[in-house]
Amino acid sequence: MTYLAAAIQMTSTSDKPANLEKAERMIHLAAARGARLVGLPETFNWRGKRPEEAAAAEELGGDTLTAMSRLARQLDIWLLAGSVTEHVPGESRRYNTSVLLAPDGAQVAVYRKIHLFDIDLPGRVTVKESDAKMPGASVVTAATELGTMGLSVCYDVRFPELYRRLVYAGAKIITIPSAFTFPTGEAHWEVLLRARAIENQCYVLAPAQFGTNVHGFADYGNSMIIDPWGRVLARAAEQEGVLVAPIDIEYLERVRRELPALTHARLR
């Protein structure tokens, strides 16, 4: 089975309606190019200042995911709503949540980011995601007609044990919607994505944020689609846009058969 997947690269702002309008336009473009699986980046619907985050957060039945569900149905696609800031009743902090939508609009997988981005690179970027976010606790896969998908978000990519658990749960396509900072992205983004693809013999779909964000630092962009041999099939230019590449499940199975490293693992 071979089909096309698309990764959408965006520069999201604190203007949620404008972000959603842009996302819808780019999803339509991806579907028009034949994509059966379309991925949006992390926090695609809203990126704003920390004091405004509580008001911008939504529950899973909120306007953003309702709109994305409608698009999945309308276009008959599998749609990864990269991540949204999920409101949790009774909690002062929120989840960073990725949702996979089926062609009938159903939410078939909900993943709450496990690893939170708390770093300080003096003079370049300081982020403490845990001030406003709670970590998730569940490893999430979804068996689909396109192959089993394993969900993750951005900073998770630095923790290979998560991805090995995803592949042991059957994952063939790994999704990594991101908003990688420029300094860490320039140094590590491609090598981490390719490593996760190679060591798990999976396709990697990594849609990302690009450009100067509302926090005043730059996101790296370079959205990618990578095959199980570690080859970069498609890479975004330095702008917003849609990239498309083939997912070939028979090729994935051949890679795993000819180099059966996953069956040789001794430590689990």
Q: What is the pLDDT of residues 191-200, one digit of tens each?
A: 999 999 999 9
Between CA 238 and CA 235 the distance in angstroms is 10
Q: Tell me, what's the pLDDT at 112?
A: 98
**Given pLDDT bands bounded at 50, 70 and 90, which one contains residue 156?**
very high
Residue found by looking up tokens 């230019």 in the block: 237
**Given pLDDT bands bounded at 50, 70 and 90, which one contains residue 123?**
low
Q: Which domains does the chain have, with CATH numbers?
A: 2-264 (3.60.110.10)
**Given pLDDT bands bounded at 50, 70 and 90, which one contains residue 119?**
low
pLDDT averaged over every residue in the chain: 94
pLDDT at residue 87 tops 80? yes
Catalytic residue positions? 42, 113, 154
The residue ranking higher by pLDDT, 49 or 60, is: 60
Between CA 118 and CA 111 the distance in angstroms is 19
Q: Tell me, what's the pLDDT at 83?
A: 97
**Given pLDDT bands bounded at 50, 70 and 90, which one contains residue 121?**
low
**Given pLDDT bands bounded at 50, 70 and 90, which one contains residue 15?**
very high
Mean pLDDT along residues 160-175? 98
pLDDT at residue 124 tops 80? no
pLDDT at residue 67 tops 80? yes
Which residues of 113-240 form beta strands (DSSP E)? 118-121, 125-128, 141-142, 149-151, 173-175, 203-206, 210-212, 218-220, 224-226, 232-235
Q: Tell me, what's the pLDDT at 92?
A: 85
Which residues are paired to 242 by β-bridges? 8
Three-state secondary structure call for residue 42: coil
Dihedrals φ, ψ of 2, to 5°?
A: -130, 135
Which residues are paired to 119 by β-bridges? 127
Mean pLDDT along residues 23-38? 98
